[in-house]
Chain A
């Protein structure tokens, strides 16, 4: 299977996939040893990651299909349910990911060539017009 993937930004350790999905390219978001929104418990669990994105106006949705007027996030997890990665949908329906401490990439689908990410397990969406005070 061919995976359509293109590098869009050079490698940096300043931010990671969770930050990038949340729209932050200045901090490394992680419950242990990273930035974590103060209102969310510092736990490496799917529930905690969902709360992070709830806090940014996202709500659970059924799939990663492109929906007019919505921005979507996908969370990846290993088989034990521990979150590993997140990606954000672009206006063209493709996805953008920050690969750990490496590059940002644009990918056509949800399959990524990094086994340790596991699989996409949860989708969230929010209205693009939603205003969130910083």
Chain B
């Protein structure tokens, strides 16, 4: 059996190739390993897909909401709603986005996680709200 690795959407994908002349046990093991690899590859592909989709939606949302003062309208934007619909898988992506380009992602994070780490006194302060969520992300192992 040979193992090769390729890169796909920032994930290293393991590929297993079967060699001829192996025992039945070895063939069974290879089948098991292949199943695990396929599961891993599918998961990695899904992750890559989520990431790509998130950044497309994020870009669209930022572009369409740049002139809005209304957080209600920002939140109701279809791209924002789709990001919320991604569920917990979007949390690390949102937190990374907050880290690099802070924006009003807080309602999305609240909707997905069901919590709000921002204290009342910091409401409206983008830097402090961002830091509260990044701290939460570090404590909960969503970001390093």
Contact = CB atoms under 8 A, between A and B. Distances in A.
Contact of A29 (B65, B106, B107, B124): B124
Contacts of A34: 71, 123-124
B106 A14 contact: no
A86 B107 CA distance: 23
A101 B63 CA distance: 10
Interface string A97-134: 01111100000000000101000000000000000000
A43 to B, nearest CB: 11
A33 B111 CA distance: 12
- Report, as a range, how many residues of chain A touch the other chain: 20 to 34
Interface residues of B, number: 21
Interface in A22-61: 26-30, 32-36, 38, 44
Contacts of B71: 28, 30, 32-34
A35 B126 CA distance: 10
B72 A44 contact: yes
Nearest to A30: B71
Nearest to A86: B69
Contacts of B73: 84, 116
**Interface of chain A, helix or strand or loop or mixed?**
loop
A67 B54 CA distance: 50
Nearest to B127: A14
B48 interface: no
Contacts of A18: 69
A100 B63 CA distance: 12
A72 interface: no
Contact of A116 (B68, B104, B120, B124): B68
Contacts of B120: 38
B2 interface: no
A102 B67 CA distance: 6
Given A13-B126, A27-B125, A33 B104 contact: yes
Contact of B69 (A11, A16, A26): A16
Contact of B104 (A13, A17, A36, A84): A13
A-B pairs, top 9 by smallest CB distance, nearest first, are A35-B124, A27-B124, A16-B69, A100-B67, A34-B124, A100-B68, A17-B69, A30-B71, A33-B71
Interface of B: 65-73, 75, 102-104, 106-107, 120, 123-127
